[in-house]
A and B are shown apart, each in its own frame.
Chain A
Amino acid sequence: MVALLTQQQAEALQGVEVVTDNFFNPIQDADDNWIISLEEVNQCSIEWVKQLPQIEYNPKQFTLPI
């Protein structure tokens, strides 16, 4: 499971610390949803982040350059 963000929420978390010296890293899943991990949700102290809905994680597939 991961936490679902809107694009605006993802942009708002850019450069914001989860804890001191560890920053949020919003990424997009295979369905282009913006998400953060539950570790980020649980470690931070931002109330609206803790209220985010959770969805199943569907990772993007990548191709390693051969």
Chain B
Amino acid sequence: MYGYGGKLVIQSGGSTIDSDAEAFLLAASITDATITTAVNDLVVGLKTNYLWNKMRALYPFVGGTATTHKFNLKDPRDLDAAYRLTFFGGITHSATGADPNGTTGYADTHIYPNYFGLSDIHLSFYSRENTHSGGDDFDIGTVTGAVNRFWLSSGLSNTNSPTSGLGSVLASSTGSTDGFFVGSLTGTALINNTNKLYKNGSLLATSVSSMSITNNASIALFRANGIDDGYSNRECAFASIGLGLSDADVTALNTLVQAFNTTLSRNV
């Protein structure tokens, strides 16, 4: 298989599964055949498209409980150091994902922005809902200052404006908040990097950005850590945090994530 750098394990039924997919499924105690297929196809696809090594955290939200949703597919050890999710507040966990209430529900990823270079980062979020909590709401991120921004929102305000904050704030025109959103920053310097915002694989907006991360708050899902507010009420069916992605990377990731959620019958 061209580009595939994974190790395949032969299961008792004779089928093969990637060893990283198997490790995740074992950690989450998931045996469901449909979920197994979806997770395996996702992992194999990420490796085939050279995306696996760009990921630091992958949250597939399968299995329907907080216990199965907490595991990081990239490192499924049950440890904060493995960037497992710790859930707080009002969140409904189900087969379609993790659905925060927009009031108190969020998850801590235990990932700090200074883990990344200041010019090479991405955040992604698959939102299953076109809704708002009533104010500025963040799907994933942390904010501690004007240039200490590290967040993504499928709709920051009631204007339905998908927005990313990777250094500078990048907003698109109005639209719906359901779909697969990616914010990516790529470059080689501390200033004048390329900041791009995508929805469902299509480029929504682009700008030049500079980061100054001295951020001592970890990245959250469903709110912005740092300000500890901006709670979102949009159900999540996939999220990732990792290195910056090219246009081709985003196209490939979008194809994989859409297929993943279609296999699980929860695509929007």
A positions within 8 Å CB-CB of B: 2, 18-27, 35-40, 43, 57, 59-62, 64-66
Are B103 and A37 in contact, with the CB atoms below 8 A?
yes
Interface SS majority for chain B: loop
Q: Which of A22, A36, A39, A65 contacts B145 (CB 8 A)?
A: A65
Shortest A23–chain B CB gap in Å is 5
**Given contacts A23-B86, A60-B229, A39 and B91 within 8 Å (CB-CB):** yes
Stretch with Cβ within 8 A of A (4 or more), from B33-41, B64-72, B113-121: B64-72
Question: In whole Å, how far is A61's beta carbon from the nearest beta carbon of chain B?
Answer: 8
CB pair A25 B144 closer than 8 Å: no
Task: Please name 6 further chain A to chain B contacts, defined as beta carbons within 8 Å, in addition to the given A23-B86, A25-B90, sorted by A numbering.
Answer: A20-B66, A21-B87, A23-B88, A25-B106, A37-B103, A65-B146
Q: Are A24 and B89 in contact (CB under 8 A)?
A: yes
**Number of B residues, CB within 8 Å of A:** 29
Say whether B89 contacts A37, CB under 8 Å.
Answer: yes
Is B136 an interface residue, CB under 8 A from the partner? Answer: yes
Complex CA–CA separation, A25 to B222 (angstroms): 13
**Residues of A close to B86: CB separation below 8 A:** 21, 23
The docked-state distance in angstroms from the alpha carbon of A9 to that of B170 is 41
User: Is B143 within 8 A of A64, CB to CB?
Assistant: yes
Q: Does B104 sit at the interface, judged by CB under 8 A?
A: yes
C-alpha gap A49/B79 in the complex (Å): 29
- Check A39 against B70 for contact (C-beta < 8 Å): no
Task: Choose one: B65, B90, B93; the contact of A40 (CB below 8 Å).
Answer: B90
Interface 0/1 of B225-254, CB less than 8 Å to A: 001011000000000000000000000000
26 A-B interface contacts by CB (under 8 A): A20-B65, A20-B66, A21-B65, A21-B66, A21-B70, A21-B86, A22-B91, A22-B93, A23-B86, A25-B89, A25-B105, A27-B104, A36-B89, A36-B104, A37-B89, A37-B90, A37-B104, A39-B92, A40-B89, A43-B90, A62-B136, A62-B229, A64-B143, A65-B143, A65-B146, A65-B149
Per a CB cutoff under 8 Å, which of A25, A61, A62 touches B104?
Answer: A25
What is the CA–CA distance of A16 and B67 in the complex, to the nearest angstrom?
15
